[in-house]
Amino acid sequence: MSAEAPGDDGIHVRRATDATGGADRRPDTIASNTSSLLGAAIDLTSHLDVQAALKNFVDRAARLSGARYAALGVLDSRGNTTAFVQVGVSEEVQAVLRHPPRGYGVLGAIPVDGPLLLDDLTQHPDFGGFPPGHPPMHSFLGVPVRVNEQVFGRLYLAEKLGGFTEHDAQDMMSLAEAAAVAIENSRLYAEARNRERWIAVSQDITTTLLEGTEEEEALEMIVSRVRDVAEADTALIVLPSVGDAWACEIADGYLAGDLLGLVFPPDGRAMTVLKEGTGLIVDSLTRLRTLRLRELAQFGPALYAPMMLRGEGKGVLLLLRRIGGPEFDPSDRAMAESVARQAALALELAAARHAQDVAALLDERARIGRDLHDLAIQQLFATGMQLEAARTAAAERGDPALTTLLEDSLSSVDESVKQIRAIVHSLREPDTAVVLVERLRREASLARTSLGYAPSLVIDVEGTVISDDDAQAGLVDIIDDRVDADISDDVVAVVREGLSNAARHARAASVQVRVSVLGSGPTGRVIVDVEDDGGGVDPTVSRRSGLANLATRARRHGGTFSLGKSERGQGSLMSWQVPLS
């Protein structure tokens, strides 16, 4: 039998009075209930889908106990309700209530190792009242659901005619044990299926890398696929930016455009993960007291995975879910770390291909230099000797007009030899010794391959266009004097990205680059405009990490960056300008 014993607060809580439960039930009823309980346990363990198993568990618990209302609250690591499965409450009432119980009050009073049995839950000291629209409830039975000795969730039963008994509590505890087995099986099955999906993504990434896909395209594919398989709302890749800074260079998903170019603090979690070489799971960014990036406060669960290659951190893969989303689990972290290593490999391969291209370019420049020296200069030298002989003969015959003409031709040959030697010398010079004008011309020349044609390059100082380096050597020197090395590197990077963007996205027939130097010192400025006649800015392209990087470069110098429609009405105009220091 069971007795009603008043608690310290005067609430009647049912408790067992003997070791066997003292049930005064007929044998056929006991057998029937035992059979139903066994059948329910067997049926529960047959489900491999977690949601289906939970829904079946709640349905079975309601039918076996005779409760009008039944629900299961799934808990996170902090004890907060992250999922809620219920029966008995209509959809209309659920809509009025707006959100399920959070697991506090009476629900939070359920013991971790036993049931909570109440005649009237409204008399419990932790009862805080029902929200508007909530159906009235009195008799109550709460049972913990433990998976691997951890409380996975709580089963809530309410409103049984005549009230719940100790036998109901025992049956629900037994059913909860069967549910725990079903939940564990479902989780293992889901984990296996999830691992298969991760492996498929890993294989796709490997194939993409072997095909020699460009670095940015490969990284964009990685974040897109990883976000999908991890069921994340947003995926980011944080890479080295200007100086010692690290910034979001690739983003996909919710608020991706707002996060591109976001600079991460040197002592933040991303950099800690990078230094330690180990992934990190955060249950909720919005609850962190030390969150330095307010943009990330719009997210809940987060997973940081370092992009490691031979023990060196190349970047960080960051997966984000919206506030209220489920936490990432350790299996997600392990697989994300594996994919992050492949992303690091993508960067390594891209760097290797770039180095190979640079080596090929240097070899080609060396070959051109040799050909100019061995062939062109020698040919011009031989021509000069012939012209010298002709000039001497003309002078001996007393033909001053022909003599003058031949002397002018000899001067032209000598000037050509000087120019070719200067070109050979510049081809052999290291980049650090090359003036900014020559570096910009080299970028325009290299872009010919990707564009399919030569872009137009105009460089001017105070409106005067540099067209002849020898005649305007002073202007070339003025540019190097006014534009320091740091800004020069950024100017070259802006021109390179502008030409690359035009080649990949613009589908243009012509591209013009104009670099203008106006004034000097803090009051002066350098302006870079890249204009094309293509299809204009594509609004569907949300991942423009290169352009975000240029905006960061401009901000670093106190300048501006914009990308919009060309003033001619067709194509796009990229404009970048910073003050001279």
Q: What is the mean pLDDT of each run of 10 residues along the chain (581 residues)?
A: 32 35 39 47 55 80 89 76 82 80 82 90 88 88 84 88 90 82 73 76 72 72 87 90 79 89 87 90 83 86 90 89 86 85 74 61 68 69 78 82 81 75 61 74 79 86 82 83 87 88 77 93 92 71 60 87 81 91 75
pLDDT at 42: 53
Q: Are residues 238 and 315 in contact, defined by beta-carbon separation less than 8 angstroms?
A: yes
Would you state the pLDDT for residue 352?
A: 63
pLDDT of residue 103: 73
The pairing of strands 140-147 and 67-75 is unpaired
The predicted pLDDT at position 33 comes to 46
Amino acid (1-letter code) at residue 316: V
Gap between the Cα atoms of 74 and 83, Å rounded: 5
pLDDT at 318: 94
- Looking at the DSSP assignment, which residues form a beta bridge with residue 38? none
How far apart CA 115 and CA 108 sit, in angstroms, is 12
Determine the Cα–Cα distance for residues 92 and 422; give it in Å rounded to an integer: 84
| Helices marked H in 503-559 | 545-556
Cite the DSSP H helix spans in 399-524: 400-428, 436-451, 473-482, 485-501
Q: What is the pTM of this model?
A: 0.48
Helix (H) or strand (E) holding 525: strand 525-532
State the sign of the Cα–Cα–Cα–Cα dihedral 95, 96, 98, 99.
Answer: negative
Complete edge-to-edge strand list for the sheet that includes strand 12-16:
2-6, 12-16, 116-118, 140-147, 150-160, 67-75, 81-87
Is 238 in a helix, a strand, or coil? strand
